Structure 1
Amino acid sequence: MTQQFKDYFSGASRDYSLYRPHYPSELFTYLASLSKHHETAWDCATGTGQTAQKLSALYQTVVATDASQTQLAQAEHQLAHRDNIIFEKMCAEKTNITSGSIDLVTVSQALHWFDLERFSVEVNRVLKPGGVLAVWAYDLMSITPAIDDVVSYLYHTVLDGYWPVERKMIENGYREINFPLQEIESPVFEMTQRWNLTQLLGYLHTWSSIRKQLSTTGGDLVEAELNKISALWGDAEKPQTITWPLVLRTWSME
């Protein structure tokens, strides 16, 4: 059964670009070490192009695809200086990528939106022998115990019912996902940012659940929790360290 593309992010593509955490460079160095060749990488569901940008320093060509034209436009605008990135509007499950041409396929914070059976077929079609599939995601961040408690309450209680059901796959650490490839045991990575309060609140407002709650109820309950976070933060201009553990799974084509 064909799964319809669910676009939760085009309406916030600029904020998504400004306020999303950055994946560590060590992650991409590791992924490049797994693939036998470094000719072409496919960044599937590229969003605003963060992963494609990192890959462009490690692979001769990066094919960056997304089903959202708005997200692609944002990525192309930001990465116009990267002449080895090819941007294409395509769904994950059906592309015009040449069979057996890809050394590395990456999916960052997006696999849970895919029709996994059809995507698996497409990955098997485009990967070279020895090619690698890498998927990763992140869940709740950690700041301080007090702020973490408020964020957890906001996420699990105030926003309960506003999250798309697909997000459960992230909460489960992608544990139930498997591909007919050889799995590689990967190290643990985390993202770390030094953000001030404005940056944190900007990030929280990129959550699709918060945008949905604000549009349907006016968001008084959300704002109450954000005010608690602001009070606990203290000096709004003072940066604090925020960390997100990454869930990473990798496979290779034998």
Structure 2
Amino acid sequence: MSNAETFGRQAATYAKGRPSYPPELFDWIAAQVPSHALALDVGTGSGQAAVALAGHFDQVVATDLSAAQIAAAPQHPRISYHASPAGQSTLADATTDVVTVATALHWFAAPEFWAEVRRVTRAGGLFCAWTYHRAEVDAGMEAHLLSPILDLIDPYWAEGNRLSWRGYDPVELQMPFTPVVMPEFACELSWSAEDFADHIESWSAHFRAREDGHAAALSDIRKTALNILGNDVRKVRLPLNTLGARIS
């Protein structure tokens, strides 16, 4: 099953389980460029980053290979969604101020994508990508929910997922631009155990494991964990691995 099929078939789960990214990240992105006419968000999924960018840029073009994912994204007057491959943005040459990729670069970092970034970005524009690192949760959620599920779904991570977990290394991702130093960012969340379980279920490896006959076992882990952990609001931290570059 391709990654587009995986995410497309669980578009509603993805939209429900993925949090918004920290506002400070988008403040930083906007501060790096003098013009705020156009941002391109590639691999937009259900549009979390595109919506945040729309608070800083006059227009956002958001693309994703999965039409089902885009259908689950919120409509916004400044956002134009397109179902298209990462290396085919529909934009004219040297027209975008920023290109962003939120939790997706590991699926399509290849020469044709980097050539598209260079083609559509204005001189002095910014490329910025990020992805989740391993969640930091309290001991109860670690023991009863996160660790048991990670153990079960480990064989179902695609190589792209594993690249993501390793962090966004510019050499491994074949990025042809000089990296810029970025601040550290993290999603700081107040979630119940059920909220966190919903997030876990948005992972592609969780979906693949369910499809491969582990749905009952995963459901049992979730049910047992929620019975033990209850409805208390807990602190969940999702650190972000980041990669940025100035396009000359």
Rounded Cα–Cα distance in structure 2 between residues aligned with 1:178 and 1:184:
15
Q: How much does 1:232 deviate?
A: 4.4
Q: Which runs of 4+ in 1 moved over 4 A?
A: none
Could you say what secondary structure the match of 1:161 adopts?
A: helix
Contact kept, 8 Å, 2:133 with 2:165, in 1: the verdict is yes
Q: How much does 1:178 deviate?
A: 4.2
For 1:211, the aligned partner's letter is: F
Question: What's 1:138 paired with?
Answer: 132
For 1:187, the aligned partner's letter is: P
Could you say what secondary structure the match of 2:199 adopts?
A: helix
Question: What's 1:43 paired with?
Answer: 41
CA RMSD of aligned residues (A): 1.8
Quick check: 173-182 or 102-111, which moved more?
173-182
Question: What's 2:81 paired with?
Answer: 87
Q: How much does 1:224 deviate?
A: 4.2
Q: 1:52 aligns with which of 14, 35, 50?
A: 50
Rounded Cα–Cα distance in structure 1 between residues aligned with 2:57 and 2:214:
46
Q: How much does 1:231 deviate?
A: 4.5
| Post-superposition CA distance 1:106-156 (Å, at most 9, x none) | 00000111051110111111110001000000032111124224513421x
Question: What's 2:173 paired with?
Answer: 177
For 1:45, the aligned partner's letter is: G
Rounded Cα–Cα distance in structure 2 between residues aligned with 1:38 and 1:232:
48
| Post-superposition CA distance 1:24-81 (Å, at most 9, x none) | 1000000111122111100111111111111111111111111111111121xx22xx
Quick check: 12-21 or 174-183, which moved more?
174-183
Question: What's 2:241 paired with?
Answer: 247
- Percent identity (aligned): 26
Gaps of 5+ in 1: none
TM-score by length of 2: 0.91
Contact kept, 8 Å, 1:93 with 1:115, in 2: the verdict is no
| Post-superposition CA distance 1:93-114 (Å, at most 9, x none) | 1232101101000000001110
The 5-angstrom pairing of residues 1-254 of structure 1 reads: 6-75=4-73, 78-79=74-75, 82-150=76-144, 151-155=146-150, 157-175=151-169, 176-233=172-229, 235-236=230-231, 238-254=232-248
Contact kept, 8 Å, 2:134 with 2:165, in 1: the verdict is no
For 1:13, the aligned partner's letter is: A
Q: Give the aligned length.
A: 244
Contact kept, 8 Å, 2:109 with 2:173, in 1: the verdict is no
Quick check: 107-116 or 216-225, which moved more?
216-225
